[in-house]
Amino acid sequence: MIKLIAIGALLAAVAIASAGVCNAQDAVASKAMVGDGKKVEDSKKIEEAAESWISGSVGVALTNAYIFYGLVQDKDSVIAQPYLNLNFKLYEGKGWLNDVTFQLPLWASIHDINKPRPVNGSSTLQDWYEFDISPGFCFSFAKNWMFMISDFIYTSPGDYFETSYSLNLTLNYDDSALLGAFALHPHLMFQQEIDNHSGLALKNGIPYSSDADEGQYYEFGIAPGFTIAEKATYPLTVTFPFTAGFGSNGYYGQGFGYFSTGATVSLPLAFIPKAYGTWTASLGGLYYRLGTNSARFTDNPNNTPTGRRDQGVITWSIGTQF
C-alpha cells in the first residue's frame, strides 16, 4: 500500500509541477475566412466551445496469440482483446510545454484459454485471462516530443496470475518534420516492477519465484510507414513496426527478451457517419524472435533447452476515436 501511495504522489507531483495537455489524438480545427476583428473573435469562441477536453478511443482486436513483451501467454485460440482509452485534457498552451493529459486506458484479454489455471484459481470468469488499468499523465513538449508516466496494473479476473503493479515511462518522438516520408517514429520505454511480477521473475533458474527481485523492462521501437491514395475516401495506410525488448534483475533471466517485426494495413471506414466517430479497420502480422528464456519458460511443450523461439501473430482490429 505504501508503494502505491508513493506512485500516486509521484504522478500527482509531476502533474502539478508541469503547467501543461498531451493530446492522445490530433485535434482537428476548422478554419473560417473572416473579414473583421469581431468575426475572428466569434469564430474563435465557436472553435473553443466545439473542442472537447475529453477524448478517447474504443475498439476490439481479434488475434491467434497473445504475446506479452515476448512472453507467450496463450496461442492457437480465438482471442478477443477489447479496449477503452479515455483522455482528459488538463492544459494546452503555445510555449515549450504544449499540453498535458490525464489518461485512463482499460484493456482486456478474453479467450478460450489453453493453459491450466493455478491450483488456487477459483474464479468463475475462467475465460477472462487479463484486465489492465494504466492511469497516468502524458506531456507533449517542443512540438514533436511526448513523455508518459503511468502505473501499469495487471490483473487476472480468471485467477491465472496475481495482480502486479509497475511504473511505466515512455518517450515518443515524431520525426515527420525532419525525415518526411522516411520518418521512423521512434519510442523508448522503461518499466519498473513495483509489487509482484509481470516478467519471468527468474531466480536461481526457477521462473515465477515469489521472492525474486523486482525486475526492469526496456523497450526500443520504430514504426515507419506510408499512405496510399492519401486524399481518397479510403486511403490505405501501411506501417512496419519493429520492437526489441530487454530485461534485468530476473525479468527474463538474461538481457535479451525478444524482437518483433511485421506489417499492419489500416483502412478508414468512411461509410460510417462521422456522428458515430472516426472508425478504422486494421489487419496486421508480426514475427517474433524470442529469447532463450522467454521461449523456454512460456512455450516449450517438448521441454527442450530453448523452447519455440519463432512465433507468428495475426491480428484484425476495428475501433473508433471520439
- Over residues 113-163, the pLDDT tens digits come to 766 666 566 778 889 999 999 999 999 999 999 999 999 999 999 888 999
- CA 105/CA 264 separation, integer angstroms: 22
Please tell me the predicted confidence (pLDDT) of residue 124. Answer: 82
Q: In the predicted model, what is the mean pLDDT of residues 17-24?
A: 43
- CA 81/CA 75 separation, integer angstroms: 13
Residue 7: Cβ within 10 Å count: 20
Q: What does the mean pLDDT of the chain come to?
A: 86
Can you read off the three cell numbers belonging to residue 223?
514504426
Q: In the predicted model, what is the mean pLDDT of residues 164-188?
A: 97
Least confident piece of the model among 7-16, 276-285, 287-296: 7-16
Please tell me the predicted confidence (pLDDT) of residue 121. Answer: 64
- CA 124/CA 141 separation, integer angstroms: 46
pLDDT tens-digit readout, 30-64: 333 334 443 444 444 444 445 789 999 999 999 99
Residue 36: Cβ within 10 Å count: 8
- CATH for 274: 2.40.160.40
**How many domains is the chain built from?**
1
Q: In the predicted model, what is the mean pLDDT of residues 71-88?
A: 95
Full domain range(s) for residue 116: 2-321
Q: In the predicted model, what is the mean pLDDT of residues 206-226?
A: 95
